[in-house]
Structure 1
Amino acid sequence: MTADLGARRASICPEPPFNALFNIRMPFIYPTSQLSLERKTPVVSTANVGQLAVDLIIASLSLQRVAILESGYCVPVVGAREDGQKGITTALELYGHPGVDFVVIQQRSPVLKVGAYSLVCLDARSALRLQSRKEEFIKALLNFIKDSKFGAVLFLSGVDLSNRTDSQMTTPTYQIRPENSPTLAGTALQRLSSLPIPKYTSPVSQEAQPAESSSSTPFIPGGGITRRILSSLPSEWSVPTASILQFVLEGDNRADAGLLASVVVKILGKEVPQWRQPGSWRDGLFGTPHDQTLFG
């Protein structure tokens, strides 16, 4: 009977992953060079147009990869690095330069919905508890921002253009300042207060959004996890925070990215003499051209 019960438990309760079994937390950052992050301002890409804008900023200001961030939270992705550099590109990386007072976090794939689990087995009963990778990622990201002693943080995201209201037709770019954020005065983001970038209001009724309904952050259709990040700032949050949103449609968003990138450097008080597109855009954005002989 004992052996049978043990066999039943083994079949009902499969062995959980090693990390989940021992509740191991991997480091969030793996530095690849010596660069102090204290008082710098991270620019974080969280959706399509934000990722492309960060690509432009990295290429145009010759920023270098200074750290690889824990990519286990994201859909696995790997690729070649820009300009023939050695090594590989991963899903989550940090770029900066000693002479530049901000860094950028480039996220190249979406955050997973669920991941590691905890398994509870009591006699013949078992409970499989899937843990939200999005919540884990947000917690790790916010802890990283706080522990790095950044001076301020700016999140970039897109908004689905098909949801734009008539009153939002005058400009594609908007801003959000979370209620829990300290003032931007005296930070690298203080210019945001004087620029003609209107406050974002959701074009979609929040009554139809039960999740996070108590949040004061407006709903962002097509904005990925941006709203969830801004809604997760604790009441004691000490890092001045803002978000820049841009209305876009899915498709070739290179022009949209150029506009968003120019807004970001304007906020940060930087001059970019000439914007440079990364080499990966030539071959990676829409793939290499088809051989025309295939079509006769």
Structure 2
Amino acid sequence: MTGPRRVIRERRVARMSPLFVARGAAVNLRGLVLVMPVVSVGNVGQLSVDLIISTLGLPRVGYIHSDGLVPVVGNDPYATTSENSSEMCTSCEVYASADRKLAVLQIRSPIVQGKQRSFRQQILSWIKENEFSRVVVLSSSFAHHRVDQQLVGTPLRYLATPALQNIMENEFQILKWKEMEKVAAFPGISEVEQELSIPGGGITKSLYTDSCAEGIPLAVLLIFCSEGDNIPDALKLLNFLNEWIQLIAKPNDQQPMSQPQWKIPSSWRLLFGSGIPPALF
């Protein structure tokens, strides 16, 4: 194709690519572990990422501009003093630490209706460009959609792409994690055909499927939950991740039941609103 039509087509393709805007000096993300949430039931993945950024004090290195996300702007959710509370945050930001070999992508707004596929392709393109050593997606799924075998034991599950399994070998078996079960594609009609189902998980399933096809070393960690106060679910999911990737140490390694101490971000004070105005009474 030549002429004006080709130019128009190239411009459209360019618009679909995510634009990573670095904050200050350029940051090399190559080889780091990437942790990111998916907008899903209870926003558990996003709450978990909040705790990671707040606890580790990860610096913001830039943001991703995409027309696939609802625009959001607000004050710094991890502010620790009145001086930095006025710093601006956006809908999709990147935090990283080369010393910790860790990068974190935080998504603070839902995907625009009809743009799930293009946003997913943008994120996967960005992941491949930066050559992360592995990608961990934090997600959740509706508890009331569980099948019989999912009702017993832990509500935590994992998925791993073939590319990651080649790297990890039998590490997940050593951790004794439960892999996400496949369910009947036509329940009540035929139990033979099985498929992966993550109701309430947003783009989790498609992100995992595309990563399998494109050879991306990606793991999905998720929890079955319901809408409500999902802070306990976020802590469970984060402790689940910490068993694999040691973000912080347990307070006492001699006590197996002891849990890591995560730092609550300042923005969580308004997680359920600002309370009932006294003027009403």
Residue type of the alignment partner of 1:278: P
Structure-1 residue corresponding to 2:180? 200
Match of 1:162 in 2: 144
Structure 1 Cα separation of the partners of residues 149 and 165 of structure 2: 29
The counterpart of 2:20, out of the listed 26, 29, 37, is: 29
Which residue type is aligned with residue 192 of structure 1? F
Structure 1 runs of 4+ aligned residues shifted over 6 Å read: none
Please say if 1:135 is aligned against 2:113: no
Task: List per-residue Cα deviations over 1:262-294 (Å, max 9, x = no partner).
Answer: 1112211232453111111101x1110112441
Counterparts of 1:49-88 in structure 2 under 5 Å?
49-81=44-76, 82-83=78-79, 84-88=84-88
Larger Rg: 1
Aligned CA RMSD, in angstroms, stands at 2.5
Is 1:42 aligned with 2:29? no
Quote the residue 1:245 is aligned against. 222
Partner of 1:120: none
What are structure 2's unaligned runs of at least 5 residues?
1-7, 188-193, 252-260
Deviation at 1:195, TM superposition (A): 1.1
Instruction: Describe how 1:1-296 pairs up with structure 2 within 5 A.
Output: 22-23=11-12, 24-25=14-15, 27-33=18-24, 34-46=26-38, 47=40, 48-81=43-76, 82-83=78-79, 84-114=84-114, 133-168=115-150, 169-179=152-162, 181=164, 183-185=166-168, 191-202=171-182, 205-207=184-186, 218-233=196-211, 235-237=213-215, 239-272=216-249, 274-283=261-270, 285-294=271-280, 296=281
Structure-2 change in CA distance of 1:166 and 1:207 (3 Å)? closer
Q: C-alpha separation between the residues in 2 aligned to 1:86 and 1:79?
A: 9
* TM superposition score normalised by structure 2: 0.79
* Alignment partners' CA distance in 2, 1:87 and 1:21: 36
* Offset, 1:220: 0.2
Distance 1:290 1:21 in 2: 53
- Alignment partners' CA distance in 2, 1:233 and 1:217: 17
Are the counterparts in 1 of residues 185 and 195 from structure 2 also a CA contact under 8 Å?
Answer: no
CA distance in 2, matches of 1:74, 1:27: 11
Change (3 A) 1:102 1:206: farther
Task: Report deviation, 1:108.
Answer: 0.9
Tell me the amino acid that sits aligned with residue 27 of structure 2. L
Relative to 1, partners in 2 of residues 1:148 and 1:41: Cα closer, same or farther, differing over 3 Å?
Answer: same
